[in-house]
Structure 1
């Protein structure tokens, strides 16, 4: 096994998830559950052992476990989401990571931090300033991760930093609308979202086939999953799990 993939099953209210930068579309909750099973199966096939956070059927956005947690080594930073209605998601995530033996620390008021704004590349942690993550949250994260270099990043037009840009296994950025150097432009918007799985493997949405071809030409192995129902509520492959080595 490569490591653990922390995930949470979607609840029946998943269609009610917060939508900020796109128009709301109908979400098929049953199809979302099937797609989530396919997502988890892809992680398992790549060597990541799924560990499920307890269900949170009354929290529509609870499926996006990444926003509640930032893991660096054996330290788990429990976030304080910028949307107040999402803050109850954190307690169940805390219980899950404590069962895994991780050290837990917290972002405290008045700081806010969404895990989707945190992009780790080696020992550098890029953190997006957003409607969900403020400067106080970024400063607290830097203090909680003294062995990392925390770099604030400005970006535009999307919910989280990792909605705009992610990083390939070699540290090259892919995406748009973020103030980072040497960013590769994807062929599709959803091609900005890659989840490195170890080695040269990356998980991507099936909605970015042209970007996947470009990455394969760069020598990467792309694993594609259909997450169309989650894309309707601003979700992507990164926010549906937290990978823990």
Structure 2
């Protein structure tokens, strides 16, 4: 039986809009190149589809520059989908734009009603538990509301702390298989991955931490040769994807899709 945290029948992504060049970023390192971003997004979608999954690509949302980072809008699990409540005020409207799409796919659709906040980028589902890192975008009240829903569905939630200066919990980690997590040493220092095998990012390549295991491939940001060599040596089938422009907006591989089974 395949693990619902690594193997998926469906994914949803959203085309980067022209307004994406105005997206949020912790540090301004220059504007993304829209044409290159769209080309990289096409490669990302092709990689997902190459595994046999059905991938829905939604139209761009020009009113929401960060809308291509769809992962922050929802948590999709075998039992249903939970609409998030982003911690960035400019992103609140993205959830309403995604809701009709998920309502057509999931019989059980829940909402984080507030006043707390939580974003999908802070949630790592491993198949056996749900790890949630509090951050600048996810607070204790948001985690508490998510816990109520997950308790009803029978999932264990473990509340953790995203290191200061790290945007999202999954900025610094990703699930490679049900027992193995790719992580920066910084995030792993607190022992949040006790019980898992942890592969640390090679020094200087910490920005490659946000990868995704999608069926039998691992989508990895391009340009990190030591990480690519390590994962290949460990037996993973990696697909490097240009993440140059999304990285300027603090985005990564997982941010660009919602992944689920229906």
* TM-score bin, normalised by smaller chain: over 0.9
1:49 positional shift: 1.4
1:121 to 107, 122, 126: 126
Structure 1 stretches of 4+ with a deviation exceeding 3 A read none
- Partners of 1:170 and 1:90 lie apart in 2 by 28
From 233, 237, 240, the counterpart of 1:221: 237
Give the paired residue count. 243
Superposition TM-score, scaled by structure 2 size: 0.88
> How do residues 50-61 of structure 1 correspond to structure 2 at under 5 angstroms?
50-61=55-66
Select which of 5, 11, 17 maps to 2:11: 5
Kindly indicate whether structure 1 or structure 2 has the higher relative contact order, using CA contacts under 8 Å at least 6 residues apart.
2
Correspondence 1:94 to 2:137: no
Show CA shifts across 1:106-137 (max 9, x none): 11121100100000111200001001000011
In structure 2, the partner of 1:134 is 139
Q: Is the Cα–Cα contact under 8 Å of residues 166 and 194 in structure 1 kept in the other structure?
A: yes
SS of the equivalent of 2:55 reads strand
Which has the higher mean CA deviation after the structures are superposed, 178-187 or 55-64?
A: 178-187
TM-score computed with the length of structure 1 as normaliser: 0.94
Match of 1:24 in 2: 29
Q: Residues 79-228 of structure 1 correspond to what in structure 2 (within 5 A)?
A: 79-146=84-151, 147-156=154-163, 157-176=165-184, 177-178=186-187, 179=190, 180-181=192-193, 183-187=198-202, 188-199=205-216, 201-228=217-244
1:34 aligns to what SS in structure 2? Answer: helix
Q: Which ranges in structure 2 are unaligned for 5 or more consecutive residues?
A: 1-6
